[in-house]
Amino acid sequence: MSKENYKIFLKGYGLKATPGRIRLLKYLADSKKPNSIKDIGKAIGTRTMDQVTIYRTLETFKTLGFVRRVDFHKDYAYYELAGKDHHHIFCENCGRIEDFEGCGSDKLIKTALRQSKQFASINDHSIELFGVCRSCARSLK
């Protein structure tokens, strides 16, 4: 996607198309996987965009619904563009992330709602798998 398209995209959500936002959006779109704030800060450069602004921008994007938070049992959060429904396998050793699709969430949500006494609907779901990637498995041997 071109810079011009990102501008249009942002404006479509009523946001001002500042260089930082365009940069962050492009980074998320290009990286195609969840990133920690540190990753983002390192990639974008803290001179380009203050860490605080990254936090604030991600929060804005998340509220508008096109960015999602992902948790990998770490003490910091990851963020990714909310595109097609997909989920992740996370390497417990090196943090490598791989995507997969087909979580069968429709069925899952139905099953959960059938059992639930307290909830009438589900807005969101989060599925993460944990393992050790081949490369780590090899070097840990």
Taking CB within 5 to 8 Å according to partner kind, which of a copy of itself, DNA, none is near residue 1? Answer: none
Interface stretch with a copy of itself, choices 11-19, 24-32, 39-47, 97-105 (CB under 8 A):
97-105
Residue ranges in 72-111 that form contacts with DNA under rule CB under 7 A: 75-77
Count of residues engaged in binding a copy of itself, rule: CB under 8 A: 45
Q: In what order do the strands lie in the sheet with 35-36?
A: 35-36, 78-81, 67-70
How many C-beta neighbours within 10 Å does residue 102 have?
8
- Please name the helix (run of DSSP H) or strand (run of DSSP E) that holds residue 88, with its range, or none: strand 87-91
Residue ranges in 45-84 that form contacts with a copy of itself under rule CB under 8 A: 69, 71-73, 75, 77
Taking CB within 5 to 8 Å according to partner kind, which of a copy of itself, DNA, none is near residue 48? Answer: DNA
Taking CB within 5 to 8 Å according to partner kind, which of DNA, a copy of itself, none is near residue 19? Answer: DNA
Identity of residue 61: F
- Within 8 A by CB and 6+ apart from 63, the residues are none
The closest of 34, 29, 3, 55 to 99, measured between CA atoms, is 34
Nearer CB in complex with DNA: 55/103:
55
CA 73 – CA 81 distance, rounded (Å) = 20
Contact residues toward DNA (CB under 7 A) are: 7, 11, 15-21, 36-38, 48-53, 55-57, 59-60, 75-77
